[in-house]
Structure 1
Amino acid sequence: MYDYLIVGGGSAGCVLAARLSEDPQARVALIEAGDADRSALIHCPAGIALMARTGQANWAFATAPQPGLGGRSGYQPRGKVLGGSSSINAMIYIRGQHEDYDGWAAAGNPGWSWAEVLPYFLKAEHNERGASAWHGGGGPLNVMDLPEPNPWSQRFIEAARQAGFDENPDFNGASQEGVGYYQVTHRGGERFSAAKAYLAPALARPNLEVITGAQALKLVLEGRRAVGVEVLQGGTRRVLQARREVVLAAGALQSPQLLLLSGIGPGAELQALGLPVLHELPGVGRHLHDHPDVVLLVDAPQARDTVGVSVGGAWRVLGGVQQWRAQRSGMLTTNFAEAGAFLRTRNDEARPDIQLHFVIGKLVDHGRSTVLGHGWSAHVCVLRPKSRGSVALASPDPLAPPRIDPGFLSDPDDLRRLMAGVRLTHRILAQPALAGGGQPTAAGLDEAALERWVRAKADTIYHPVGSCRMGPGADDVVDAELRVKGIAGLRIADASIMPSIVSGNTNAPTIMIGEKAADMIRRANA
């Protein structure tokens, strides 16, 4: 028996476990299907390259075939380890645009405007640049500039300036627009995940129990109240009970899955799978969306200081391994996507509608395929896509993956913006600062050929949100206090509650959601 059960030891779950256990009178359990974050590949920033190939600490889901992608199934990596996706991501710290959160509040979610969420970003953050109006100086999450960026990242920034775009030294400051370096969640040459930032300092508390290797199977309900969670651990099923609240923090793909497995969701879907309908809630699993993304490649054999597969490149990596082991410095402190940009595809756009990530190597198939030689890549993604999809049950078996349908490029506006973003990025990659490389992929294609290429290559940039949407409407799942509608003692605190996706990487906003949810829960149970 616990006061609070938190399902999912990821970015928001680690925040909740740490914050709720600050009350010594509250007994807290954090349930995580994966293991502890012991692997050196997690802690070494450049280890993401090998994790992508091995599938380590990763649910590695696939989508349903996507008509907008020519019938292909896409890739959906999600962290299966303490720290969740903050233990396998590219460590980029981005909050999004101020208008994103004002839009949440305007949609009927009081308390979620930019002015109201900024204090939670500041509370979470310790920025090594120092505290300011825009940055926290004493929070658990360490944010810093990359200490040893690759020289080609600076060349990309210069190329964007040559193409007419302004440099922005702080994407999380007064304005997001421009080109520059990303700040990262690192400390001392290592990844600084939510598990390191929040959970590790709290592990000695006697009132906090972290249960790893335990997959949640369903919620336990007494009437219309959540009172526990049934888990499978080591081949044994058991029930953990909650006196006060159960909080789902399993992410945009698995929080709705767990609701559905528990008989909470669209009744017709549940009945079709032979599951009882304990609470009709039609919005569960609806409104899933994500940033659609394509990657442009440039072959540059002379760029030997990029990360590439060659004899010289292998020697550099071996030297980098030794340096990182001894000093936590050197080339393996890279997050690969060191620089980027937030740009407008048209001058009449009110704010940036695309994001670029410049990668210091040739990236193919999410890093799962080996590409010989040296060069660089550029991600192009649409910041506020209109396409919507869903998460549903593929099977009543709780161990089966969910059916994930992001609906990529189902809205023609997303395709238009993505194609315009590719054209714009081609212009940057053609500037003198990046001279010496070959033609980027898809260069010189006419509109029809470019559309075919985008549909053949687009996929996720790992930001699924919205599948348990917050709002006042009948199709919304949680209210502005993150309480699941119609079920007492149950909240959701993860990216699934986002009414609309933020304009940028989703890890920092998810941590903010965890901070804000912890305050809500403590106030309600005071």
Structure 2
Amino acid sequence: MMVYRSWRMLSAAVVTILLLLNFGAAQFAPNYTFMHEATEAPRISFFDYIVIGGGTAGIPIATTLSTNYSVLLLERGGSPYNDPNITSVTNIFRYLLDTSPDSPSQQFIVEGVVNSRPRVLGGGTSINGGFYSRGEEQFNMEAKLTDADLIEESYQWIEERLVYELPLDNWQSALKAGLLEAGVTPDNGYTFDHLIGTKVGGSIFDQNGTRHTAANLLQDANPEGLALYLHATVHKVLFKRKGLSKPKAYGVVFEDSLGKKHVAYLKGGAKDEIILAAGALGSPQLLILSGIGSKDQLDALNISVVLEQPYVGQDMADNPQNVLFVPAPIVVQPSVLQVVGITPFGSYIEEVGGFNFIFANLSVYQGFTYEKGGFVFEKINGPLSKGELKIVNRNPADNPSLTFNYFSEPEDLQKCVDGVSTILRTINTEGFSSYKFANMTDQDILDLNMKLPYNLIPHGNTSTSLEQYCKDTVRTIWHYHGGCHIGQVVDDDYKVIGVNSLRVIDGSTLLNSPGTNPQASVLMLGRYMGVTILGQRLAGEKPYTDW
């Protein structure tokens, strides 16, 4: 507990200094006439669609639906614009140190691992590493996306607006050469596709180092059809039950930053809907707060049961990440994620170079500075290890209680071991030799990393085995998913089973985290489902290709 308090105090001090120094440039907000603080919302309003969550899935959904219908988009956080800690690549990851109530990332701890969930317009696209790579074909099948043309068009719609190809620096080129030399082949070059081997992916950072979040997609929204409110915390979805065969969602209650409540209703059309896109934590949490969940949990919190649904909050997962900091004899220029090795055994190897503030509370260790070195890390696919989500109170602003059960399945642990072994082979290659001290052994590097503050798990200072290294240094890669799985909580059209006029479309529905990094797939999912919903509503009027 003392370790965590010290960590928080030091992190807060670092954030304060960084804000005073005002590192990096901000991206000025577009003139979104439809974007307002929730304090300006009417007490009662009416819409064809209500989308809860202005994140990776919610923004493309709302943007697409607004072309033909009135849409309310509710975001619990603020704007990503004019915040250099979000928009400038030179400040990447600084938001993870911010523990203030207005932080764009809301921290929580699971099994000794410090996690963060987005609390900002743009969702995860505002506080991630920026890497853009499509998911594998398996994801399309698991997500029940059957229209190959619409999948491709949805990806292209995103890529034309948000994604950039950046040149590789020397550190990245060395890692790419090392991966190929270590057997992570073939060389797939620059591609968005998920292919076994080594590749270079896209980035939502442009050549000037400016982040382009999902919020930028709102430039395609119909300003007459969209109302967007920031700092709007949704308390629950409202349901009609009397005289109906199934409960029907018809409105939401949300609170502004001054504590005033507002109610937004659907207009009452036969195909009007509320769409939960609040993320892997937010959507199951809101379902439970609205009365859809296990009866025991609802009864314990005195929440009226709308629908007994024991699968809500179940099979939660977070892909574990394990890192090796590699000290270098030369300066490593700061670089974002671009190079990835996709192994056939299910480990994905990526890099970040030269950012000394990733662990700002330990910027120098035994003479090694983070400017002279870089981080190579691996994430396992899946994972098979699962946990659950429960809410601890009726306050929607509070984090739910979570378990992920990192490495509880032996297959997950073996993938990590194989991944770390591949990293060690990679950094010992001729292609990577400029960035590694020749006299440093694998054991030296493992022992050094055992002393770095990767998590809050008590452990020794030396690595006794790769299995133990994986367990002792486990981190999150912020790729949470589950809690509202297809086939359990929602059907193939993402409609909540057992009620009407309510869908969940976001990472909570995913069975596995797609690809190396999920943002491309979730952005595509939002656009795909937005177009699909329009097509279902406008069937016979015009094809989706005209939108």
**TM-score, with normalisation over the residues of structure 1?**
0.81
What CA distance in whole angstroms lies between the structure 1 residues aligned with 2:190 and 2:199? 8
Which residue of the partner structure matches residue 313 of structure 1?
A: none
User: By how many angstroms is 1:379 displaced?
Assistant: 1.0
Counterpart in the other structure of 1:453: 469
Residue 515 (structure 1) aligned to one of 527, 539, 546: 527
Task: Using the TM superposition, name which of 379-388 and 44-53 deviates more.
Answer: 44-53
How far residue 434 of structure 1 moved from its aligned partner, in angstroms, is 2.4
On the 8 A contact 2:463/2:469 being kept in 1, the answer is no
SS in 1 for 2:264: strand
Which of 84, 92, 95 is 1:51 aligned to?
A: 95
| Secondary structure of 1:240 counterpart | strand
**SS across alignment from 1:516:** helix
1:206 equivalent in alignment to 2:224: yes
| Correspondence 1:478-497 to 2 at 5 A | 478-497=490-509
Identity across matched positions, percent: 26
Given that 2:331 and 2:354 are in contact with CA atoms closer than 8 Å, whether structure 1 keeps it comes out as: no
C-alpha contact (below 8 Å) 1:291/1:461 kept by paired residues: yes
Rounded to whole Å, the distance in 1 between the matches of 2:534 and 2:330 is 54
Residue of structure 2 in register with 1:3 after alignment: 48
Name the counterpart of 2:260: 236
CA distance in 2, matches of 1:30, 1:253: 18
SS at match of 1:485: coil
1:33 equivalenced with 2:76 (yes/no): yes
8 Å contact from structure 1 (residues 94, 172) kept in 2: yes
The answer (yes or no) to whether the contact 2:60–2:526 under 8 Å persists in 1 is: yes
- Give aligned pairs, total: 454
User: For residues 57 and 15 of structure 1, do their structure 2 counterparts lie closer, same or farther at Cα, with a shift above 3 Å needed?
Assistant: farther
Distance in structure 1 (CA, Å) of the matches to 2:148 and 2:418: 29
Map Cα deviations across residues 231-264 of structure 1 (whole Å, 9 max, x no partner): 1102111211123111111000110000001110
Paired residue secondary structure (1:394): coil
Once the two structures are superposed, residues 367-387 of structure 1 have per-residue CA deviations (whole angstroms, 9 ceiling, x without a partner) of 454422120111111112111
User: CA separation in 1, counterparts of 2:92 and 2:390?
Assistant: 29
Instruction: Map residues 262-301 of structure 1 onto 2, 5 A cutoff.
Output: 262-300=290-328
**How is 1:17-416 mapped onto 2 (pairs within 5 angstroms)?**
17-23=62-68, 26-38=69-81, 39-55=83-99, 57-65=103-111, 72=112, 74-102=113-141, 104=142, 109=144, 111-112=145-146, 117-126=151-160, 141-147=161-167, 149-166=168-185, 167-173=187-193, 176-187=195-206, 189=208, 190-196=210-216, 198-202=217-221, 205-223=223-241, 224-233=247-256, 234-243=258-267, 244-300=272-328, 302-307=329-334, 334=335, 336-345=336-345, 353-361=346-354, 367=359, 369-372=361-364, 373=369, 374-416=372-414
| SS at 2:154 equivalent | helix
2:387 partner amino acid: G
Return the alpha-carbon distance in structure 1 between the equivalents of residues 140 and 220 of structure 2.
30
1:13, distance to aligned residue in structure 2 (A): 1.1
Distance 1:10 1:199 in 2: 11
Q: Distance in 2 between the 1:114 and 1:21 partners?
A: 24
Which residue in 2 is equivalent to 1:133? none
1:525 CA displacement: 2.8
| Distance in 2 separating the partners of 1:18 and 1:277 | 33
Task: Structure 1: give runs of 5+ residues left out of the alignment.
Answer: 66-71, 127-140, 308-333, 346-352
Structure 1 residues 367 and 20, CA, compared in 2 at 3 Å: closer, same or farther? farther
CA contact (8 A) 2:505 2:526 kept: yes
Supply the AA of the counterpart residue of 1:490.
Answer: L
Provide the C-alpha distance between the structure 2 equivalents of 1:229 and 1:397, rounded to a whole number of angstroms: 15
Tell me if 1:469 matches 2:485.
yes
Shift of 1:362: 6.3
Separation (CA, whole Å) in 2 of partners of 1:9 and 1:362: 29
For residue 35 of structure 1, give the secondary structure of its aligned residue in structure 2.
coil
Letter in 1 for 2:251: G
Q: Is the 8 A contact 2:292 2:306 kept in 1?
A: yes
Cα distance, 1:182 vs structure 2: 2.4
- One-letter amino acid of the structure 1 residue matched with residue 76 of structure 2: A
Output one character per residue of 1:394-447: Cα deviation in whole Å (capped at 9) or x when no partner. 223333211121221111110111111111110001112222334463279999
Q: What displacement does 1:265 show?
A: 0.9
Identify if the C-alpha distance between structure 1 residues 112 and 296 changes in structure 2 by more than 3 Å, giving closer, same or farther. farther
TM-score of the superposed pair, with normalisation by structure 2: 0.78
Give the C-alpha shift of residue 521 in structure 1.
Answer: 2.1
State how far apart, in whole Å, the 2-side matches of 1:362 and 1:426 are: 21
Note the C-alpha offset of 1:298: 1.1
Backbone CA RMSD of aligned residues: 2.4
Contact 1:150–1:305, Cα closer than 8 Å, also in 2 = no
Q: Deviations over 1:138-178 (max 9, x none)?
A: xxx3322114x3311101111122223332214433x6111
Q: Kindly tell me: are residues 172 and 507 of structure 1, through their superposed partners in 2, closer, same or farther at Cα, counting changes over 3 Å?
A: same
What are the superposed Cα offsets for residues 62-119 of structure 1, whole Å, 9 maximum, x if unpaired?
Answer: 2443xxxxxx2x22222211111101111111112223333x17xxx4x447676344
Kindly provide the amino acid, as one letter, of the partner of residue 127 in structure 2: I
The residue identity in structure 1 corresponding to 2:525 is I
Query: Segments of 4+ in structure 1 off by > 6 A?
Result: 113-116, 443-447
SS at match of 2:131: coil
The verdict on how the C-alpha distance between 1:363 and 1:273 changes in structure 2, with shifts beyond 3 A counting, is farther
SS at match of 1:291: strand
Cα displacement string for residues 173-230 of structure 1 (whole angstroms, at most 9, x for unaligned residues) = 3x6111232211234522111101x11343x712211100111111111121111111
CA deviations on 1:468-503 (whole Å, 9 max, x unpaired) are 1112xxxx1111111011111111111111133223
CA contact (8 A) 2:176 2:198 kept: yes
Q: In 2, Cα distance between the equivalents of 1:113 and 1:457?
A: 41
Flag the 1:249–1:463 CA change in 2: closer, same or farther, 3 A.
same
Q: Which residue of 1 aligns with 2:513?
A: 501
Contact 2:291 2:304 in 1 (8 A): yes
Structure 2: gaps spanning 5 or more residues: 1-45, 242-246, 451-461, 539-547
CA contact (8 A) 2:52 2:75 kept: yes
Contact 1:9 1:250 (C-alpha < 8 Å) held by counterparts: yes
Residue matched to 1:138: none
Instruction: Tell me which amino acid in the other structure corresponds to 1:306.
Output: Q
Tell me: CA distance 1:120–1:455, structure 2 relative to 1, closer, same or farther (3 Å): same
